[in-house]
Chains A and B, each alone.
Chain A
Amino acid sequence: MSKPANLVQGTLDLLILKMLDLQPMHGWAILERLKQVSKHTLQVGPGSLYPALHKLEREGWVQAEWSTSEDKRRVKFYSLSKEGRKRLRVEAADWKRLSSAITSIVFAK
């Protein structure tokens, strides 16, 4: 499975959880939203996104629901579960500590 090269290891889960915290979405919408929000800095492909989504679903952090689109296709919508929200808080806090630590080292004068 190819990992997006420009993404710090383990941050994809955090990003997905954050996206879904805003509103329930299907896979394609998550990618679009990521692109928009990061202003095309973060390029995550479907090859990384879907396995990650399925993993989050298996862990129970994300719930999936099927509905039908306007042109009669089955669409899988993902939303954040209660545990997922908790997980998001934990991961976000971790990320904050990690990134500030890295920043303080890299930009130390």
Chain B
Amino acid sequence: MRLLRSLHFRVQCLLWRGHAERDLSDELTDYLERQTQRYIQDGLSPENAHTAALRDAGGPEQLKEACRDVRGTAFIEDVARDLRYGFRVLCKNPSFFVTASLTLALGIGTATTLFSVAESQLWRPLPFPEPNRLAVIWERNLKQKWQASSVAVATFADWRERNHTFASMAAMQWPKRSNFVSGEFRDRPRVAAVSTGFFETLRVLPQVGRTFGLSDEQPGKQTKTILSGKLACQAFGSPEAAIDTAIKLDGETYSVAGVLPDQFRLDLFQTPDVYVPLEVSYAKSRELRDLFVIGRMRPGVTVKGALSDMEVVAQEIAAEHPETNANFSAVVENPLDNLPASVRTFLLLSFAFSIFVLLIACSNVAGLQLMRAVAREREFAVREALGASRPALFRQALTESAWIAMTGAGFGTLLAAWCTHLLRSSPLESMLPRETEVSLNIWSIVFAVAISVGAAFLFGVAPDLLRSKLNLEASLRDSGRSASAGKGVRRRIEILAGGEVTLAFISLFGAGLFVISNWDLQHVPLGFNPRNVLAMEVPLSGATYSKQPEVRKFYERVSQAIATLPGIQEFALSSGIPFLGGEEVTFLRPDRAHPPHGQEPWALTRNVTPEYFQTLGIPIVRGRGFTAEDSEVRPTVAVINENFASHHFHGENPVGKQLAILSKGDSELAERTIQIVGVVGNVRDVGLDEVPFDDLYIPFAQHPLRFMYVVVKTSAPSIGRSLRGRMRQLDPAQFVSDPKPLDSYVGDAIQEPRFNLLLITLFAGFALILTAVALYGTVAFAIAQETREIGIRIALGAQRTGVLDLIFRRVLRLTVAGSICGFGIAFVIGAMFRTALYMVPYEHEGILYRVSIHDPSSFACSALIVLLSAGLTGLIPGIRATKIDPYSALRCE
């Protein structure tokens, strides 16, 4: 209470400063008048009486000052005065002020931008109510290297029924593209089947209409659909217009039950555009695992608690269904743990690099402050001699730093706001896999402010720590320019510069690794020749194509139509193309022992026409490719790739061997035995940096599918449009995608590594420039300090080259020391984070490819660049030093 009143009193005094001053002077006047009257009554003359009264008071100004001290506002008023004074001092030296604050702005700007990106991507929870109660649940295959797997429908039904820790649990099938038809509108959006309660679990309500009810889960009742706000607007003009209209998805009719809010995104799991009800029943397969399950935990339940509950449930299920679930348990994870690990690694790495830039900027400004402190040593000595207290001087130094830091933070935040805006509006945002928007939020601002406060303290304290060691008398007597006075400072500045060289070296080394890795990635053997090849999706849907003969007939017409187009060199049909993966199929070798359940090998399949290998330039290594002879009436054959051969036939000749196909998404191929007739070269199946996949090619004629790509090799890339027009003519009801050059798939795959490279190189560039500025400053300062000494040397006959040599030796010493430290740190850090940086099959993707984490050429290049730039920065002040005129150098002090 007393504290509060006291505070109130102080604030009043501060706010009504004019008021308080008038009161004070009125009170004093009153006293003086009364005392004067008293003296007059005692017999003094009026003038003498007044003087005596003043004398009693001990001087009215001193008295007032004593009263002001009591107010307890002196500190704040002093700080305000210091701030004003500090600003004036800085404005007198604008080049220093501008350099320092811009340097700091660059550092704070980069660090804050990267912090914002990392925060929004890695740490911000899902944008739904009470996000920390959400968890994703996977099946866990105890026998495979990759443990978390999608969930089978019947297993999900059991989980939902038997768990005790989730308030609700819901599933979504991985989205697939389907043909969407509504009147004239055609599209091929992502469609996902979701269980009842999916949106309720996330706590998202449709903007109009309803979600799915329990009855929608029952077999044969899948007649409703929910659309994204965007698709509803595109197809119907407004969300309201969409409700209760009929649409067709792959030929099936659905009625629109609801439209989701426009801002709904679930990017962690590829936000679908269309939702249909998932058929949930215990009768469904326990082996076809294609669901992603999300649950809302009951209040107070932790992920750990939920996990032990789910493990018990999974054990029960395994005991009841040993043939399918014996080796399966469950995993419960925070949804954020499902971020691609490569993105996490890269964001953290670039955040670290931006912190390097910030540290370099900070030490740069600290160095500048130190140099200025030496130049102003005399000023401070005079002030101290005149009675300024140490704390007062300290406070003043601190406020000057605060100005620099505040200006730097201000501009830095502006820079960060601009960068995040740029990032948001650029196509690069698609690389950030989260539904959260990259923006400067409260945490980023707190981060920037914390940095600037820390920086202000650092710069403020550094010169002061130095000054306390100086002898007041010596600095007053000395001119303050002699070499001896600045020795300690120079040592500190050199240490700062050395530290900067270290950080710059690490940044350059990192950038070097990315350059080499990118080079290697761009020259990875693709296994096929993408030049002049176009690929176009021509999937079939609807009742017309539910039987194989119709499918076969349609694609025959496709082939005939393409053959008549001019400018086509080769063409083929394929159910998949490189970089886009393929269908997974599990198989066995009938001539070998049956592996335990859950451990059967699998391969990616592609159903292709015989011309596929020729069109893509995939070499046939052994045996033969497909021919027109491999028709539906002949025994089923297959072609494998070299990985397949080496993984499963270890040196044997696979040609002529049999394979038994176990399961596949559609059952037509299952339970068949096929004969291997040839081996072809490997192609990149999902990306440039990948696990070696086993590929299994099957002739289209023997096993036609409803979703095929047309792959065309042509000398005229402009043919794409007429090609698409031709395909649409064949059946206007079907969707045909735009033909896309295969080159562009390769380009897309390199885009992310290239962006990573760009960012890291940018940071390394900043680091190098700032360090060069620091080195320049260090050398220039040393020369300014030693003008007299150099003058004497020249006067005594030293060669100009000798002087230059002296200076270069100093720069070199700094650079080499810094580089060696950087080398050591980079070596240790590299060893520590080795596994996080490279791809680990089935665990995470890498951000570096092939290049060794201790790549010697990268070390050498970084050292060379640092040395070269150090040499250049030493050159200018060095040449100036050789031109020192000994006569004026000796006289100038």
Contacts and interface: CB of A to CB of B under 8 A. Distances in A.
Contact of B2 (A2, A60, A69, A75): A60
Contacts of B23: 66, 76
Interface residues on B, range: 20 to 34
A75 B30 contact: yes
B667 to A, nearest CB: 88
A42 to B, nearest CB: 15
Interface in A13-28: 26-28
A57 interface: yes
Interface string A55-70: 1011110000010010
Interface in B60-106: 62-63, 66-67, 69-72
A47 B478 CA distance: 43
B31 A28 contact: yes
Contacts of A75: 30
Given A28-B35, A47-B57, A47-B58, A58 B30 contact: no
Given A1-B69, A58-B6, A60-B5, A73 B29 contact: yes
A50 interface: yes
Contacts of B29: 73
B748 interface: no
Contact of A50 (B2, B9, B27, B72): B27
B6 A47 contact: no
A54 B70 CA distance: 7
Contact of A51 (B10, B35, B38, B69): B69
A74 B19 CA distance: 13
Nearest to A76: B27
Interface in B1-44: 2, 5-6, 9-10, 23, 26-31, 33-35, 38
Contact of A27 (B5, B27, B56, B69): B27
Nearest to A2: B58
A47 to B, nearest CB: 4
A58 B35 contact: no
B68 to A, nearest CB: 9
B126 to A, nearest CB: 52
Interface in B97-151: none
B26 A1 contact: no
Contacts of B31: 27-28, 46, 50
Contacts of A59: 2, 6
Contact of A45 (B2, B6, B57, B67): B57
Contacts of A45: 56-58
A51 B66 contact: yes
Contacts of A54: 67, 70-71
Interface string A88-101: 00000000000000
Interface residues on A, range: 20 to 34
A47 B65 CA distance: 10
B810 to A, nearest CB: 55
B26 to A, nearest CB: 5
B5 to A, nearest CB: 5
Which of B2, B9, B56, B67 is the most central at the interface, judged by chain A CB atoms within 10 Å of its CB? B67
A46 B281 CA distance: 95
A57 B35 contact: no
A56 B160 CA distance: 71
B372 to A, nearest CB: 37
A50 B28 contact: yes
Contacts of B71: 54, 58
A32 B35 CA distance: 10
Given A50-B63, A51-B70, A73 B9 contact: no
A72 to B, nearest CB: 11
Contact of A1 (B27, B33, B34, B66): B66
Contact of B66 (A47, A73, A83): A47
A66 B30 CA distance: 12
A46 B9 CA distance: 22
Given A57-B9, A58-B6, A59-B2, A47 B30 contact: no
Contacts of B10: 58
A60 to B, nearest CB: 5
A14 B30 CA distance: 24
Contact of B9 (A32, A51, A58, A76): A58
A83 B5 CA distance: 12
Contacts of B57: 45-47
A50 B67 CA distance: 7
Contacts of B27: 27, 50, 76
Contacts of B2: 59-60, 83
Given A2-B58, A58-B9, A76-B27, A28 B63 contact: no
Contacts of A60: 2, 5-6, 9
Contacts of B72: 58
Interface in B813-847: none
B821 to A, nearest CB: 55
A28 B57 CA distance: 11
Contacts of B26: 73-74, 76
Contacts of A74: 26, 30
B33 A73 contact: yes
A76 to B, nearest CB: 5
16 contacts: A1-B66, A45-B57, A46-B35, A46-B58, A50-B27, A50-B63, A54-B67, A57-B9, A58-B72, A60-B5, A60-B6, A66-B23, A74-B26, A74-B30, A76-B26, A83-B2
Interface of B: 2, 5-6, 9-10, 23, 26-31, 33-35, 38, 56-58, 62-63, 66-67, 69-72
Given A46-B35, A58-B9, 11 more contacts: A1-B66, A28-B34, A28-B35, A46-B57, A50-B28, A50-B67, A54-B71, A57-B9, A69-B30, A73-B29, A76-B27
| Among all A-B residue pairs, the 7 with the closest Cβ atoms | A47-B58, A28-B34, A54-B70, A1-B66, A51-B66, A60-B5, A74-B26
